[in-house]
Amino acid sequence: MLGREAAIEDAVQAQMAGFLRKLREFRQHTDQLGSCFAAAPVAHPALGDVLLSAVSRCHDSMASVEASIIAGQAAEAFACYEALVATHIRLFILGTQLLIMGSLPDQQSKMASPAARAIVDAALEACRAVALFERLSAK
CA distance readout (Å), 16 to 20, 49, 72, 91: 6, 34, 10, 26
Residues 6 or more apart in contact with residue 133 via CB below 8 angstroms: 64, 68, 76, 77, 80
- If one counts the domains in the chain, the total is 1
Q: What domain range includes position 129? A: 2-138
Higher pLDDT, 9 or 92: 92
Are 83 and 127 spatial neighbours (Cβ–Cβ below 8 Å)?
no
Average pLDDT, the chain: 79
Task: Give tens-digit pLDDT for 6-64.
Answer: 776 777 677 677 667 776 777 777 777 777 777 788 888 888 787 778 878 877 877 77
